[in-house]
Chains A and B, each alone.
Chain A
Amino acid sequence: MAKEQDLVVRRRGWVTADFFTHDYRISGQVDVRHRPLADQLNDRTTSYLDVEGVYISPIDRPGEITASYPISSLLKDNITMVVLARQEDGLSKKQTYGSYFGTYLREVFLTIPGFEVRGLLQMSGKLDLRAVLAIGTDRFIPILDGTIFATLNPKIQFTGGIILVNKDVIGAICIPEEG
């Protein structure tokens, strides 16, 4: 039986995430009982992601819910990023198990259409930003402890323990000078 402090109020086996497309924020639940969300997003055998209980907000009014539907399918190509509260809800298995060995975190700044993203990128070996974007088959890269700012209205911010960013929409990836 779980200890009192381990209990959390949430739907078992499902994770709630904010999915961003170019014009919308879509909050919904994904079944992660069999596969973590990152693995589902990076699965190249399907172009779609099934999301239940979606609540839709226009990107310029992200707190307002303008529509809701019990079932939806999102086209992965058009998901620019996914924001999750907790890192463990978003990391893939290969990123979770033993992956911290030989890696380090670097602060990064990304631009994607309509947004700027700041956070930490887990890297290994030589610092090579091109490799981050080019190597590997994963479509979404995890930014840890990240914050998103709307480019035209920086007061609109989203924070997450992990932000999965679609590599195909990244305009620039930058790292600040080490202090």
Chain B
Amino acid sequence: MARILVIDDSADLLDMMRLILAKRGGHQVVLSADPADGLSKALADPPDLAIIDVMMPGITGYDIVRRLREQPQTAEMPILILTARGQPIDRETALQVGADEHMAKPVMPADLLAKVDELLARRRGAPEERAGRILTLLSLRGGVGVSTLVANLAVVLAGGTPDVVALFDMNPASGQLALHLRVKAERTWASLRDASPDPALLEQITIRHASGIHMVAAPFSPLYADRLTGPTVEAVLAFLRGRFEAVLVDAPPLLSSGAMAALNASDLVFLVLSPEVGAIQAALAALHALQGMRSRLFLVLNQVQEQPPLPMSAVERALKRPPDAVLPFEPAHRTALARGVPLALEQPQASYVQALHRMAVAAVERLAASTE
């Protein structure tokens, strides 16, 4: 439990902050609706963290931060600016005056609590940089259940631990991961216009799901496909792998420059197919095109139909090898998608989820072997 001071002139917002930080976050909360009073409280008895609005009458949040940084007792105090001024220039200004982080209102409670935890952990000296694994899931044929697999594999890999797994939905034509997790993707990778996007912008487009899984979502509109260039994808992945233990990429069904950047950066590539002729042909084409990364390819046969059109023996004959994992048909996926809750969250005992666990173990073993 930490002691958190919130300075904001909105009574509604202070009520909400008390609810979120005290009741849900379990923190001790000190509230101040008057900026001058808030500044005095911070100086007199420095909290573990201060959350400060910018637009307040008489004295702005930026002025408060400047004054806190001038005093030795609050010079190192973690400060989060929470403001309706949510443009990149506002984040830049907040950091320039001495804040540690900037968040734009309106903010989701889960996002706020995650940021609070991150700032408190940073103060305790927790490591900031991770070196996460990048796992890309690919099929050159649509309809073989890749997005469903990504959403469920994320839940399995996270194992209930929040903030360790991130998803990157690269699909250019209305990606599905946000639907699978019922996440409202107000910001997506469509906001990335530069080849080397600002980390602040990358942070803004990384959404946190209530389960603690994070996501860079695909835009609803298919008009932005050209924004995922190779360098942009590399920048997104570098950002995510620095913050999460595992990054799952839902790759588009084509070998574009962006997709190739993801594949090249991947520690493991799950090539997904279903037991039907079209999917097998697409898998063979992918195996041929990606033969340079054969040691990193992990072949997954996903039974997306109750009655598979081809038997396993025919699939193995065509591929000239057995798949590394076989996932059984699961009718409950349809309702899971409709409800926006992955099967692995709701029915961890389902045979599909159990098979995913086995696949994850095999994948981890493959990764361990490749680094030996």
A residues at B contact (CB < 8 Å): 4-5, 7-12, 16, 18, 27, 29, 53, 55, 62-65, 68, 70, 83, 85-86, 105, 107, 120, 145, 147, 156-159, 161, 179
Give 28 CB contacts A-B under 8 Å: A5-B109, A7-B16, A7-B109, A8-B106, A9-B13, A9-B16, A9-B82, A10-B12, A10-B13, A10-B84, A11-B10, A27-B84, A53-B55, A55-B60, A63-B92, A63-B93, A65-B54, A68-B55, A85-B84, A85-B86, A85-B186, A86-B106, A107-B223, A120-B221, A145-B219, A145-B221, A158-B87, A159-B88
Task: For B60, list chain A residues within 8 Å (CB).
Answer: 55, 65, 68
- Name the CB-closest residue of B to A87: B186
Task: For A10, list chain B residues within 8 Å (CB).
Answer: 12-13, 84, 105-106
Task: Report whether A63 and B191 are in contact in the complex, using a CB–CB cutoff of 8 Å.
Answer: no
Task: Report whether B108 and A8 are in contact in the complex, using a CB–CB cutoff of 8 Å.
Answer: yes
Task: Report whether A5 and B223 are in contact in the complex, using a CB–CB cutoff of 8 Å.
Answer: no
Give A12 to B86 CA distance when docked, in angstroms.
Answer: 18
- Name the CB-closest residue of B to A89: B106
Q: Is B190 on the interface with A (CB-CB < 8 A)?
A: yes
Task: For A9, list chain B residues within 8 Å (CB).
Answer: 13, 16-17, 20, 82, 105-107, 109, 112
Q: Is B110 on the interface with A (CB-CB < 8 A)?
A: yes
Task: Report whether A5 and B108 are in contact in the complex, using a CB–CB cutoff of 8 Å.
Answer: yes
Task: For A85, list chain B residues within 8 Å (CB).
Answer: 84, 86, 104, 106, 186
Give A122 to B31 CA distance when docked, in angstroms.
Answer: 43
Which secondary structure characterizes the binding site on chain A? strand
Give A11 to B86 CA distance when docked, in angstroms.
Answer: 15
Task: For A161, list chain B residues within 8 Å (CB).
Answer: 186
Knowing A7-B16, A11-B10 touch, does A16 contact B107 (C-beta < 8 A)?
no
**Most A CB within 10 A of own CB, among B13, B87, B110:** B87
Give A145 to B188 CA distance when docked, in angstroms.
Answer: 10
CB < 8 Å A-B pair total: 97
Q: Which residues between 1 and 20 of chain B lie within 8 Å of chain A, taking CB atoms?
A: 10, 12-13, 16-17, 20
Choice from A5, A12, A70, A86 contacting B186 with Cβ under 8 Å: A86
- Name the CB-closest residue of B to A144: B221
Task: For B226, list chain A residues within 8 Å (CB).
Answer: 179
Encode B223-246 as 1/0 by CB contact (under 8 A) with A: 100100000000000000000000
B residues at A contact (CB < 8 Å): 10, 12-13, 16-17, 20, 24, 54-55, 57, 60, 62, 82, 84-90, 92-93, 96, 104-110, 112, 186, 190-191, 193, 210, 219, 221, 223, 226
Task: Report whether B223 and A105 are in contact in the complex, using a CB–CB cutoff of 8 Å.
Answer: yes
Task: For B96, list chain A residues within 8 Å (CB).
Answer: 63
Task: For A105, list chain B residues within 8 Å (CB).
Answer: 221, 223
Task: Report whether A8 and B89 are in contact in the complex, using a CB–CB cutoff of 8 Å.
Answer: no
Question: Apart from A9-B109, A161-B186, what are 19 other A-B pairs with CB-CB below 8 Å?
Answer: A5-B108, A5-B110, A8-B106, A10-B12, A12-B12, A18-B85, A55-B55, A62-B87, A62-B89, A65-B54, A65-B60, A68-B55, A68-B57, A68-B60, A83-B87, A86-B106, A145-B190, A147-B193, A158-B87
Task: Report whether A18 and B87 are in contact in the complex, using a CB–CB cutoff of 8 Å.
Answer: yes
B77, chain A: closest CB distance, angstroms:
21
Choice from A4, A64, A158 contacting B93 with Cβ under 8 Å: A64
- Name the CB-closest residue of B to A118: B193
Task: Report whether B55 and A27 are in contact in the complex, using a CB–CB cutoff of 8 Å.
Answer: yes
Task: For A65, list chain B residues within 8 Å (CB).
Answer: 54-55, 60, 62
Task: Report whether B13 and A5 are in contact in the complex, using a CB–CB cutoff of 8 Å.
Answer: no
Knowing A27-B84, A68-B60, A159-B87 touch, does A7 contact B55 (C-beta < 8 A)?
no
Give A133 to B236 CA distance when docked, in angstroms.
Answer: 38
Give A104 to B214 CA distance when docked, in angstroms.
Answer: 31
Knowing A86-B186, A107-B223, A159-B191 touch, does A53 contact B108 (C-beta < 8 A)?
no
Task: For A157, list chain B residues within 8 Å (CB).
Answer: 87-89
- Name the CB-closest residue of B to A53: B55
Give A105 to B223 CA distance when docked, in angstroms.
Answer: 9
Give A144 to B24 CA distance when docked, in angstroms.
Answer: 34
